[in-house]
Structure 1
Amino acid sequence: MSASTPKKSPGFLLNLVFNIIIPTLVLSKLSEEHLLGPVWALVAALAFPVCFGLYELKQSQKVNLLSVLGIVSVLLTGGISLLQLDPAYIAIKEAAVPGLIALAVFFSQFTKYPLVKKILLNDELLDLSKLQQSLQQKNAVALFEQKLRHCAYLVSATFVLSSVLNYGLAKYLLVSQPGTPAFNEELAQMTALSYPVIALPSMLMLMVAIFYLFYQIGKVTGESVENFLRQ
């Protein structure tokens, strides 16, 4: 294996621990004044996903737009909370981040650089040069691009769903004044529920888009999708 081969990103379990489990425990268990207090507990809890996100970026050796947006989202949550602004701003932020991604994916279809290719056509999973060669041999490049646009609509819908669920969950749970143990407890609940309420439905929709893409690769090329998978 050459030295230029990209390093693998950390596994699902580590993502779960650093982005959900540890922040939830810190916010819910250490926010009382005789412990860390609400401010420092918030800082400590948000430090884990930020540091883990930066570590992922370093390990992958390339800038990932979704990872960067995730870090920015956490920092915005921290900023809004530390400034003790109205919790409604967090709900708006929670909806805005995936909403902007949905718009970017949708409108990028009308440019030379559709984002759906970055999201779904992963060079670490698929041999893209082999796929492109097969499409050219069968004069199916235009047809595949059309199918890819359908995938873009599915991906956009996934982020729209995430936007709506993010807003609803934040609006429902965050009712206390920031800077208080009660607010940190609510933020802990939102963090803990973000996976089953938001991440799972969004992942299922994204899997539908991926399965649709794989099905169309096989249908358009007339070959098994396994022929294009990296070994």
Structure 2
Amino acid sequence: MTDSTDMKTKPAEKKESLLLNLAFNIAIPTLVLTKLSGEDYLGIKLAIIVALSFPIIYGVRDFFVRGKINFFSALGVVSVALTGGISLMELDAIYIAIKEASIPALFGLATLISLKTSQPLIHTFLLNDSVLEIDKINASLLSRNRKPEFDQLLINASWILAGSFLLSAVLNYFLAVYLLTADPGTQAFNEQLGQMTALSFPVIAVPAMLVMIGDMFYLFKGITRITGLSLDEIIKQK
């Protein structure tokens, strides 16, 4: 009876809109930077402020809609703020390239360092109880005495995950270096910044996402092999 009441009173978590995400984080900033940076429109500095305000607005909105901090949205807000600060101070474009590469590189490093802790980051990204039947998996590992083999699987998957972050870091850096050739504080620089924003998803996010998806399948296949459970048994049914 209590479980039924809890299910009725607990609100379902609102799903994120991919269309809204792409609009606020990529499409609108790109249009503002490439089309409205001229003196006849917003001007160089105001265009940067307006363009980068949309990802920040999205991140704040995400917090109020979900009632909790979305780590990746928060990281996106910090990244956007740094890009805006570097651009407004008219620092050399190499600083943006370094910033673009440093964030995913730090994620990759943190993933590997976390292997030495009681809670590796692989649990957060791929092996979490919102997706998998963790209790059922642990019970099967104990009954079959396969925990050491499972731990090695997690280490391998963590290295692959770190590799996806490293790939993202390299692509981020070279995309910024390749595109940001104009002098900071010019309309051409704003337009290049807009192009970088537009290309960030197909050039950076998609390859890194494909590696991560491959890692997920490797992990799931390994879990089914070690535990003897089927894929349907280890994945939570919504």
Q: TM-score under structure 2 normalisation? A: 0.91
The SS at the match of 2:200 is helix
Q: Flag the 1:59–1:122 CA change in 2: closer, same or farther, 3 A.
A: farther
Count of residues paired in the alignment: 231
- Picking from 53, 56, 59, the partner of 2:59 is 53
What amino acid is the match of 1:215?
K
Report if aligned partners of 1:6, 1:60 keep a CA contact under 8 Å in 2: no
Q: In the alignment, is residue 219 of structure 1 matched against residue 212 of structure 2? A: no
Q: Flag the 1:138–1:91 CA change in 2: closer, same or farther, 3 A.
A: same
Q: Once structures 1 and 2 are overlaid, which stretch shifts more, 74-83 or 175-184? A: 175-184
Q: In the alignment, is residue 117 of structure 1 matched against residue 110 of structure 2? A: no
Q: Flag the 1:136–1:60 CA change in 2: closer, same or farther, 3 A.
A: farther
Q: In the alignment, is residue 169 of structure 1 matched against residue 175 of structure 2? A: yes
Identify the residue that residue 196 of structure 2 maps to in structure 1: 190
Identify the residue that residue 43 of structure 1 maps to in structure 2: 49
The SS at the match of 2:44 is helix
What amino acid is the match of 1:107?
I
Rg comparison, structure with higher value: 2
Identify the residue that residue 228 of structure 1 maps to in structure 2: 234
Q: In the alignment, is residue 86 of structure 1 matched against residue 96 of structure 2? A: no
1:99-118 alignment runs, 5 A limit: 99-118=105-124
Identity %: 49
The SS at the match of 2:188 is helix
Structure 1's unaligned 5+ residue stretches are none
The 2-side partners of 1:105 and 1:124 are apart by 20
Identify the residue that residue 3 of structure 2 maps to in structure 1: none
Identify the residue that residue 28 of structure 1 maps to in structure 2: 34
Q: TM-score under structure 1 normalisation? A: 0.93
Identify the residue that residue 7 of structure 1 maps to in structure 2: 13
The 1-side partners of 2:162 and 2:116 are apart by 14
Q: Once structures 1 and 2 are overlaid, which stretch shifts more, 90-99 or 62-71? A: 62-71
The 1-side partners of 2:117 and 2:205 are apart by 29
Q: CA RMSD in A?
A: 1.6
Q: In the alignment, is residue 210 of structure 1 matched against residue 216 of structure 2? A: yes
Identify the residue that residue 65 of structure 1 maps to in structure 2: 71
